[in-house]
Amino acid sequence: MAKVLVVDDDPDVVEACCLVLEQKGHKVSSAYNRADGMKAIKTEKPDLLILDVMMEQPDDGLAMAQDLRRDGYSAPILMLTSISKVTGLSYGKDSELVPVDDFVEKPVSAATLTAKVAELLAKKSQGAAKESASPAKKIKKEG
């Protein structure tokens, strides 16, 4: 199954995500802040990242997603958020401001979490299959 990294400053959320996803056969690792999350991405090379919006700083998750995408990280990112409950604001996907694949409102049920993870991993697999099935582009040298 897939390697999943959970980055959240709430140990209860991390533990719950790990338990649910490990029961589905995924290899799950965790980090509790942005800095450790960035290190874990380099060492673990996860197939999917589950990321909290607010950690030590209110925008840690958003900034981390932006940094990762800028650096070429292409694995799916599922963002966990309680921001609409805290602020009354809601976020949507935006390729620059919020470069994530999907959002889930906290608290998240086990069924919703596993369904979203399966959906994002399936999309990743389909994208990889399309890339490998497409013929290589030949570059013509002019002159």
pTM of the model: 0.83
At 58 the pLDDT is 87
Residue 99 has pLDDT above 70, yes or no: yes
Minimum mean pLDDT among 16-25, 65-74, 91-100: which range? 91-100
Given a cut of 80, whether residue 143 has pLDDT beyond it is no
Q: What is the per-residue pLDDT for 138?
A: 42
pLDDT at 142: 45
User: How much is the pLDDT for 126?
Assistant: 80
Average pLDDT for residues 52-70, to the nearest whole number?
93
The answer on pLDDT for 104 being more than 60 is yes
Tens digits of per-residue pLDDT, 6-53?
A: 999 999 999 999 999 999 999 999 999 999 999 999 999 999 999 999
Q: What is the pLDDT of residue 82?
A: 79
User: Could you give the domains of the chain?
Assistant: 3-133 (3.40.50.2300)
Banded model confidence at residue 129, pLDDT cuts 50, 70, 90: low
Q: With CA atoms as reference, report the closest residue to 48 among 118, 108, 110.
A: 118
